[in-house]
A and B are shown apart, each in its own frame.
Chain A
């Protein structure tokens, strides 16, 4: 029922919105780079309600573009746990896993008011979290994420896709990840930049060794003014295997970014 509702909502919005342009995805990654020597500071906070309690992860991200087609980033997270029933797991604030990211955009096809780009991304997770049982937000393990990001942006709508493989040498959590996002604007593009965008994002993950699978859908809204954006999104699982020891109920995402 939920699946049908989100699908119909997405189709209706795609066909009825006065779409003119949009910004970067809220949860997914972007293939479009802002420009050489530019930096971006971003915060993305996820409040994830699960079957065992609530995880809140707040990531501070620093991105730098040494060239027009490459990006280096460091993500520094803090995780707060609350609502746990177990006496052994009384929650609290802890360090999450620091992540290092590199991205290279290797294909660009520009048109008038549109562009299609492909980028390769490598994200390395470092097990800096103080407790490993914050997994699924901060795995507490060495993990590398290798993927390709595809993006088509036009003045009418934006589409982005991501195909990736996560490799965790010390666990059985290797997985294929697919992400799709659709961005729809509510305001006519103009200068100075002022946008309100709707985002529909989907993420699926198949764990190759355990056969577990999940499909998550999120709806978000983003306000962009000049070089800054603020955004909020709600994510809910459409499909989730019973094999997961921790079931995700839903997540709220709150974010802000500033380019300089």
Chain B
């Protein structure tokens, strides 16, 4: 009896930990986004663009190199961001999208334009 009880407890613990891991895995799904824009001449001018991007979904690790117009960030996969979403944001803020690459957690990528040379 005691052995059965121990097995049940072990099984429940395993299920609980497994479900926690699945939830954690879902929460850690992020798309990597890299963009190159023309027209951003000052950081404050880009605040509209940044706010529009943040309105698409939860964003983290945002970085911007204003000299080259390159923005990189991670956005939650459940935001279902697509190249069209990025194009819409750049049109709304009057910048020109030169290049965009979205890398999904499964390794697939959406690409627009030519990759900038390193």
- A residues sitting closer than 8 Å to B (CB atoms) are 20-24, 32-38, 68-69, 105, 108, 110-115, 152-155, 158, 183, 185, 189-193, 195, 224, 226-227, 229, 259-260
Query: B50 contacts which chain A residues (CB < 8 A)?
Result: 191, 193
19 chain-A/chain-B pairs, Cβ below 8 angstroms = A23-B42, A24-B44, A32-B42, A35-B49, A35-B94, A38-B48, A38-B51, A68-B93, A69-B94, A110-B39, A112-B38, A112-B68, A113-B66, A114-B39, A158-B42, A191-B50, A193-B43, A259-B47, A260-B51
* Given A68-B94, A113-B67: 10 more A-B contacts, CB < 8 Å: A24-B44, A34-B48, A35-B49, A35-B51, A38-B48, A112-B38, A113-B40, A115-B45, A189-B67, A192-B62
Q: How far is the CB of A228 from chain B (nearest CB, A)?
A: 9
B28 on interface, CB distance cutoff 8 Å:
no
- Contact indicator A153/B94 (Cβ below 8 Å): no
CB distance from A9 to the nearest CB of B (A): 22
The answer to whether the Cβ of B107 comes within 8 Å of any Cβ in the partner chain is: no
- Whether A224 pairs with B45 at a CB distance below 8 angstroms is no
Residue pair A191, B39 in contact (C-beta under 8 Å): no
CB closest chain-B residue, reference A183: B42
Complex contact B47–A193 (CB within 8 A)? yes
CB-CB under 8 A from A23, the residues of chain B are: 42-45
Complex partner residue of B43 from A37, A152, A189, CB under 8 angstroms: A189
On chain A, the residues within 8 Å of B64 by CB distance are 189-191
In the bound complex, CA of A81 to CA of B50 (Å): 41
Min CB distance, A231 to chain B, in Å? Answer: 11
Q: Shortest CB–CB separation between residue A29 and chain B, in angstroms?
A: 14
Q: Are A191 and B43 in touch, CB under 8 angstroms?
A: yes
Q: Given A21-B66, A155-B66, is A193 in contact with B41 using a C-beta cutoff of 8 Å? A: no
Which residues of A lie under 8 Å from residue B44 when comparing CB positions? 22-24, 193, 195, 224, 229
Label chain A's interface by main secondary structure: loop
**Which residues of B lie under 8 Å from residue A190 when comparing CB positions?**
43, 64
Q: Across the two chains, which residue of chain A brings its CB closest to B38?
A: A110
Closest to A257 in B: B44
Say whether B63 faces chain A, with CB atoms less than 8 Å apart.
Answer: yes
A193 CA / B43 CA spacing, docked (Å): 6
Query: In the bound complex, how far is the Cα of B67 from the Cα of A185, in angstroms?
Result: 14
The answer on a CB contact under 8 Å between B69 and A227 is: no
- A35-B51, A189-B66 in contact; A22/B42 too (CB < 8 A)? yes
B90-113 to A contact mask, C-beta < 8 Å, 1/0 = 011111100000000000000000
> Taking A35-B52, A191-B62 as contacts, is the C-beta distance between A113 and B41 under 8 angstroms?
yes
Question: In the complex, which residues of chain B have a beta carbon less than 8 angstroms from the beta carbon of A191?
Answer: 43, 50, 62-64
Q: What separation, in Å, do the CA atoms of A111 and B45 have in the docked complex?
A: 14
Decide: B42 and A155 in contact? CB cutoff 8 A: yes
Q: Assuming the A-B contacts A21-B66, A191-B62, A224-B44, are A68 and B38 also in contact, with contact meaning beta carbons closer than 8 angstroms in the complex?
A: no
> A259–B49 Cα gap in the complex (Å)?
12
Complex CA distance for A193 and B46, rounded to whole angstroms = 9
Q: Is A110 in contact with B68, judged by CB distance below 8 angstroms?
A: no
Q: How far is the CB of A96 from chain B (nearest CB, A)?
A: 27
By the criterion CB–CB under 8 Å, are B92 and A68 in contact?
yes
- Counting from the closest, the 7 A-B pairs by CB-CB distance are A35-B48, A153-B41, A110-B39, A34-B48, A23-B44, A35-B93, A36-B92
